[in-house]
Amino acid sequence: MKIPEPHPDKMFTLTSQIVDANYLKWPIYIGPDLVITDSAIEKNYTLYPRHLLFQAVKKGGDLNTTIWQTENDHLWSTVDLDQISTIKKYGPSFEEDLIFHYIRHFYNTGYVYEEVGLYDDAKREYERVLDIDPVFADALVSLSRLYGEKFENKDYLKAIEYLQKYLALLAPDQKEAIEEVYKKADEYDQKYKEMLKNEQEEYERQEQEEATESGESQ
């Protein structure tokens, strides 16, 4: 592996420099902690969660999503929800760190799917997160967004339902976040009412057309 000289503005070599220098020589996997400390990574690369790490693929680059999904499904098959429930029930332990890595893996997988427009796949991954941790806030918000904004057939009531679950997790002093939830829920509610109105108008229009055609045929 090639390790470039330290960044001119830093006293050390950045992760993004190492990725750039070694890209295409072999698959590049990055730990989540390194992604957080180097913003250039997410700017220049799509990060596909693999093996509880990220595989860096240049923006616009191609990854065999069939193989990726197969690997991800295999990882999910190893998750023992009963065992996870037992670990969480009996308090803090080193296993809880592993559980969190699984949660973040499936959430990040869903996020990548959402980013590339594969919303059904994103939904599946977010739901897997909630199977492990029913109160994982990011997954609740993301599912609300899918139902309220991304799916072709919107389900505003479902979107509001997930927002309500997220709202229940917020502390009273998180006023800004609470206001945002109410604002978004109100937006979905208005769109739901508008959708019902449009459906009713369309129904009445069709009824009128059928009545007119029936009268003309007599």
The tens-digit pLDDT sequence of the chain (218 residues) is 788 888 888 778 888 888 888 888 878 888 777 776 788 888 888 888 877 788 888 887 776 777 788 888 998 998 999 988 888 777 667 677 778 888 988 998 998 889 888 999 999 999 999 999 999 999 999 999 999 999 999 999 999 999 999 999 999 999 999 999 999 999 999 999 999 999 999 998 988 888 787 766 66
Residues 139 and 207 in one domain: yes
φ, ψ at 14 (rounded to 5°): -75, 155
| 105, 107, 112, 115 alpha-carbon torsion, rounded to 10° | -170
Residues 215 and 144 in one domain: yes
Helix, coil or strand: residue 54? strand
As beta bridge partners, residue 45 has 58
Predicted pLDDT of residue 217: 63
Predicted pLDDT of residue 5: 85
Predicted pLDDT of residue 156: 97
Among 133, 153, 177, the domain-final residue is 133
Residues 81 and 126 in one domain: yes
Predicted pLDDT of residue 218: 60
Among 133, 151, 166, the domain-final residue is 133
User: Into how many domains does the chain fold?
Assistant: 3
Burial degree of 65 (CB within 10 A; 0-12, 13-18, 19+): middle
Predicted pLDDT of residue 141: 97
Domain interval for residue 161: 135-218
Among 11, 34, 63, the domain-final residue is 63
Residues 50 and 110 in one domain: no
Helix, coil or strand: residue 50? strand
Predicted pLDDT of residue 19: 87
Predicted pLDDT of residue 13: 86
Residues 58 and 76 in one domain: no
Predicted pLDDT of residue 167: 96
Residues 139 and 189 in one domain: yes
Residues 143 and 128 in one domain: no
Q: Is-contact 111 57, C-beta < 8 A?
A: no
